[in-house]
Amino acid sequence: MPETLQLSNPAPLTTLTEDEILFRDNVRQFADDKIRPLAKEMDEKAVFDHGLIEQFFQLGLMGIEIPEQYGGAGGKFFEAILAVEECSRADASAGVIVDVQNTLVVNAILRWANEDQKKRYLPKMAADTLGAYALSEAGSGSDAFALQTKAELKGGDYVLNGRKLWITNGKEAGLFILFATIDASKGYKGITAFLIEKNFPGFTVGKKEDKLGIRASSTCELILEDCRVPKENVLGEAGKGYKIAIETLNEGRIGIGAQMLGVARGAWECAAKYAQERKQFGKPISEFQGIQFQIAQMATEIEAARLMVYNAARMKDAGVDFVKEAAMTKLFTSQVAERVTSLAIEVYGGYGFTKDYPVEKYWRDSKIGKIYEGTSNMQLATIAKLVMGK
């Protein structure tokens, strides 16, 4: 990874610094050269190429914000967002792997872990260990704090029992930030976050889901049967897991925004290129005003989405409150991605409906944007509360 992650104060919203442009272009080139050629096969097999993950680590994409003292790149949140966008432009599954690692797992450890935990885990996260964020359960989706996984302190260990569902990176991850309740009578104030290693006794990765989109990204069940977790692996404070969950997901929503921005850009680029190649009635379909208007509408919405993503990321780096902007970003970008990818299929016509062309995959990959890390309705509820002061 080039030394482009040492950045000064945030640049104006609509511009990137020279270092940011160089970083973005490097990731874009890597995505075009290494990710894109594998995207179709990984989607069909529903397996992410392990060698590609190794290259993510070698390039420093998995520890962008990890300080250099722990082996990371010492960069900012904004670079992580650029990396997610560019990877997602080539393949949304690649984007979400980079996203979860940086915006959820690494961010949570940087903010909430004690020094001993940072020394134990951050060098691994920068070098070779993929992370996962385990909050959801069968009866605990939007109502995240209705989780049933329990943790009981026995001697120097907590003993955990329960199941987690829909955990991204579940198959490949070596470290999990997992949420359980130590006292159900306290409601959300009993929720505690734990750092769980894959080889801890009693911890098992279960079924891998067969999904509509982001198929190469593993989404798995986690099973805890008397899983023993050392007391020193509590992240933050016991009973304060709800705070870690809420605040980390606020940052993660900007990451999902970047992912959806990348998906929309990838689909638009394909459609714009195809419109100039496909001929009907003796001329390229790009010369027909109806197609021109579709391409223009898509480009306008993508630009608006980009400004929202970059603004929210800049706000996070600047240390100002970004909760409303993060919710708006995730809501809007997921809508844009779904609309743009659908229009891209229409530009291709019948060909767009086949798997011989890339746009149907972009459309399938876009749908998850309205669901994970907070559904669109949950984002609307958050936005309404903040703009109405209720």
The active-site residue, picked from 86, 172, 251, 373, is 373
**CA distances from residue 235 to 216, 222, 324, 348, 371 in whole angstroms, order as listed:** 29, 19, 26, 49, 26
Locate 79 and state its tokens: 């670079």
**SS3 helix, strand, coil % of the chain, rounded to 5?**
60, 15, 25
Query: Can you tell me the distance from the alpha carbon of 46 to that of 206, in angstroms, rounded to the nearest whole number?
Result: 16
Crossing angle of helices 323-348 and 376-388, rounded to 10°: 140
- For Cα atoms 106, 216, 309, give the angle at the middle one, nearest 5 degrees: 50
CA 94, 220, 168, 170 torsion-angle sign: negative
Closest residue by Cα to residue 162 from 174, 172, 176, 235: 176
Contact 163, 128 (CB under 8 A): no
The residue written with tokens 């397996």 in the block is 47
The phi-psi region of residue 164 (left if phi > 0; otherwise alpha if psi is between -120 and 50; otherwise beta) is beta
Q: Do residues 338 and 332 lie in contact, with contact meaning Cβ atoms separated by under 8 Å? A: no
Q: What is the C-alpha to C-alpha distance for residues 104 and 246, in angstroms, rounded to an integer? A: 11
* CA–CA dist 250, 313 (Å, integer): 11
Neighbours of 224 (CB within 10 A): 25
Q: Is 360 a catalytic residue?
A: no
Neighbouring-strand partners of residue 228: 159
The dihedral through the CA atoms of 336, 338, 341, 345 has a sign that is: negative
Catalytic residues: 373
